[in-house]
């Protein structure tokens, strides 16, 4: 399952229209919130109304999207009864203002869906012309960037190369772990876009660039540890952090050396953590832990200081990767 999110008018539908017309995407179902002006022509198109059910503590990211549960169960039913061609993938398109976290929460928490669907990646579109404006004005847009595994910068043809460079650098500052693509006129290679390599390969190369960035109250920090980390202790630390400060932790992503043959893939958006995967081997030669935190209202020093205090339990000390420089919001 792929979640496609992006700012209003940033070209989500155009991009989907192009990508879905490719033969390799024929067994893909699409869930959209509104049939926009750009008509998507696809035999597995479903419309869902955003219906959110707020749970317990009232945090927005821990809501269950009932509409999505119904739509996905219906697809599952059709698929298993053989009434539609075998389903390879579901693409969920959100509204421009939607926070992607509830979608992940819905899939991970539903007693049926969690066994049938997994979230491959979150794709966010940003338009090169108005992206800066959205990021300045709209806190949801920062969340969408933080939650992304891949970011597509659209309308690069309409914006000057200067503006495109500016927005890409700003996106990198908010979310150093995401891969950034450029797409003029919605031209994109579907396989490239939907291939699930985000969690591993990007954490590998992206995190090492790691610099503490400060983008209008949102900080990101990449760090590693000087040895293998006790997975139980890390789970205690992270679950505690997410319980108390979950709404401020926009993203946690990376590979963790837990002293086993392969690393553990950690991937979380706000309170919602992907089921951690224990890999059989490292994706490349570098066998160090590398993990990126994107947070608002939490300074990188606080996170590092906290992990430092937990070093006795973790069995390793945290090290910040790279020297930092701030990229001010414009």
Could you say which residues in the range 216-255 bind other proteins, by CB under 8 A? 230-233, 235-237, 239-241, 243-245
Rule CB under 8 A: choose which of 47, 51, 137, 278 binds other proteins.
278
Rule CB under 8 A: choose which of 69, 123, 153, 298 binds other proteins.
298
Two structure tokens written together for 210 = 């790691």
| Residues 1 and 90: beta-carbon distance below 8 Å | yes
Give the 3-state secondary structure of residue 242. helix
Instruction: Note whether 262 binds other proteins by CB under 8 A.
Output: no
Give the 3-state secondary structure of residue 269. strand
Instruction: Note whether 53 binds other proteins by CB under 8 A.
Output: no
| Residues 297 and 219: beta-carbon distance below 8 Å | no
Residue 50 CB, nearest distance to other proteins (Å)? 23
Instruction: Note whether 303 binds other proteins by CB under 8 A.
Output: yes
Pick between residue 181 and residue 231 the one whose CB is nearest to other proteins: 231
Distance CA 75, CA 82 (A): 11
**Tokens 């958006």 belong to residue:** 269
Core vs surface per residue 116-146: b (16+ CB within 10 A) or e: bbebbbbbbbbbbbbbbebbeeeebbbbbbb
Residue 234 CB, nearest distance to other proteins (Å)? 9
Q: How many CA atoms lie within 13 A of 242 on its CB side?
A: 20
Two structure tokens written together for 222 = 């990449």
Residue 69 CB, nearest distance to other proteins (Å)? 14
Pick between residue 276 and residue 322 the one whose CB is nearest to other proteins: 276
Pick between residue 4 and residue 269 the one whose CB is nearest to other proteins: 269
Pick between residue 82 and residue 111 the one whose CB is nearest to other proteins: 111
Residues with Cβ within 8 Å of 251's Cβ and at least 6 positions away in sequence, in order, are 146, 147, 175, 177, 268, 269, 292, 293, 294
Residues with Cβ within 8 Å of 219's Cβ and at least 6 positions away in sequence, in order, are 212, 213, 294, 295, 296, 298, 299, 300
Residue 264 CB, nearest distance to other proteins (Å)? 8
Q: Site mask, other proteins, residues 101-140, x = CB under 8 A? A: --------x-x--x--------------------------
Query: Which one of 38-46, 164-172, 213-221, 267-275 is the stretch in contact with other proteins (CB under 8 A)?
Result: 267-275
The footprint of other proteins on this chain (CB under 8 A) covers a number of residues equal to 32
Residue 166 CB, nearest distance to other proteins (Å)? 33
Query: Which one of 6-14, 123-131, 156-164, 269-277 is the stretch in contact with other proteins (CB under 8 A)?
Result: 269-277
Q: CA 325, 249, 5, 275 torsion: positive or negative?
A: positive
Rule CB under 8 A: choose which of 97, 139, 275, 330 binds other proteins.
275
Q: What backbone torsions phi and psi does residue 68 show, to the nearest 5 degrees?
A: -70, -40
Angle at 96 between CA 91 and CA 100, to 5 degrees: 55
Residue 190 CB, nearest distance to other proteins (Å)? 31
Distance CA 149, CA 61 (A): 18
Rule CB under 8 A: choose which of 194, 225, 293, 310 binds other proteins.
310
Residue 175 CB, nearest distance to other proteins (Å)? 21
> Can you give the binding site for other proteins, defined by CB under 8 A?
109, 111, 114, 230-233, 235-237, 239-241, 243-245, 264, 273-276, 278, 298, 302-303, 305-306, 308-310, 312-313
């Amino acid at each position: 399952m792929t979640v496609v999110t992006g700012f209003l008018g940033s070209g989500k539908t155009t991009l989907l229209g192009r990508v879905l017309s490719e033969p390799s995407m024929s067994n893909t179902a699409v869930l959209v919130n509104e049939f926009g002006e750009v008509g998507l022509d696809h035999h597995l198109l479903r419309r869902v109304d955003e219906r959110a059910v707020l749970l317990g503590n009232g945090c927005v990211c821990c809501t269950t999207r009932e509409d999505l549960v119904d739509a996905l169960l219906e697809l599952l039913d059709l698929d298993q009864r053989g009434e539609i061609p075998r389903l390879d993938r579901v693409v969920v398109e959100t509204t421009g203002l939607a926070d992607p976290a509830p979608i992940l929460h819905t899939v991970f928490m539903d007693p049926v869906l969690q066994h049938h669907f997994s979230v491959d990646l979150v794709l966010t579109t940003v338009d090169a012309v108005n992206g800066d404006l959205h990021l300045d004005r709209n806190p949801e847009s920062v969340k969408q960037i933080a939650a992304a595994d891949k970011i597509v910068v659209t309308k690069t043809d309409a914006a000057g190369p200067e503006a495109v460079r500016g927005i890409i650098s700003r996106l990198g500052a908010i979310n150093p772990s995401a891969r950034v693509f450029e797409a003029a006129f919605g031209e994109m290679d579907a396989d490239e876009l939907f291939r699930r390599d985000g969690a591993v390969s990007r954490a590998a190369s992206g995190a090492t660039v790691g610099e503490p960035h400060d983008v209008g109250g949102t900080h990101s920090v990449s760090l590693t540890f000087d040895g293998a980390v006790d997975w139980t202790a890390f789970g205690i630390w992270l679950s505690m952090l997410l319980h108390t400060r979950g709404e401020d932790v926009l993203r946690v992503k990376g590979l963790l050396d837990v002293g086993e043959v392969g690393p553990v893939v950690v991937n979380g958006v706000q309170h919602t953590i992907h089921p951690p995967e224990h890999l059989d081997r490292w994706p490349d030669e570098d066998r160090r832990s590398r993990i990126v935190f994107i947070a608002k209202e939490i300074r990188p020093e606080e996170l590092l200081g906290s992990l430092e205090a937990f070093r006795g339990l973790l069995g390793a000390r945290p090290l910040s990767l790279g020297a930092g420089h701030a990229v001010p919001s414009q």
